[in-house]
Amino acid sequence: MKSMRKIDRQMTAEETLGVLTKGEYGILSTIDMNGQPFGTPLSYVLKEDNIYFHGALEGTKLDNIYFNEKVCFTVVGSTKVLEDKFSTEFESIMAFGDASIIEGEEKLQALREIIKKYSPSFIEAGEVYINRAIEKTCVVRIKITHLTGKHRI
């Protein structure tokens, strides 16, 4: 992984983690067996060095992960078009890592973390929901190997 070309735009580790923790959604970049990249928007949760997301038991992004486990997960924080500067202020992070499908206790805990992030007022109902849906749900973990954040394009 190359270092950032414009070093003055690099965010601190704390700022980067802040954007990744608080983001409402991220874009998962994967590649299919024909070399076609895909960028899929997803809800997710960060837990330690792992990003977790869930979805259906089949689909293009799972096929892609089976083909190539290397992924990028991009989260954009606040943005502001500076009309008179011909520029845009923004903050964004890119997390690189390896994706794999998880099962068992880690899967259950990941779904609970997703409920805590997105439905903090519905923890009990969320537990019922998890019990009903867990067999029909796939949970993917991205083990982050490299994380960068920058302030501007």
Using the rule CB under 8 A, which residue among 11, 45, 51, 94 binds its own copies? 94
142 binds its own copies per the rule CB under 8 A: no
Q: Which residues are within 8 A (CB) of 151 and not within 5 positions of it... i.e. 6 or more apart?
A: 9, 10, 11, 89, 90, 91
Q: CA dist 67 to 47, 63, 87, 139, 146, Å?
A: 25, 6, 38, 17, 21
**Phi, psi torsion values for 19, nearest 5 degrees:** -65, -40
Residues found in the chain: 153
Q: 3-class DSSP state for residue 133?
A: helix
78 binds its own copies per the rule CB under 8 A: no
Q: Which helix (H) or strand (E) holds 90?
A: strand 87-102
Stretch that binds its own copies, among 7-15, 73-81, 101-109 (CB under 8 A): 73-81
Q: Which residues are within 8 A (CB) of 133 and not within 5 positions of it... i.e. 6 or more apart?
A: none
Stretch that binds its own copies, among 7-15, 77-85, 102-110 (CB under 8 A): 77-85
Using the rule CB under 8 A, which residue among 47, 74, 101, 134 binds its own copies? 74
25 binds its own copies per the rule CB under 8 A: yes
65 binds its own copies per the rule CB under 8 A: no
The nearest distance, CB 126 to its own copies, in angstroms, is 6
Return the amino acid letter for 98.
Answer: D
Contact (CB, 8 A) for 91 and 19: yes
120 binds its own copies per the rule CB under 8 A: yes
Residues near its own copies (CB under 8 A) are 1-2, 5, 24-25, 27-31, 35-43, 55-56, 58-60, 68, 70-74, 76, 79, 81, 83-84, 86, 88, 90, 92, 94, 96, 115, 118-122, 125-126, 129, 153
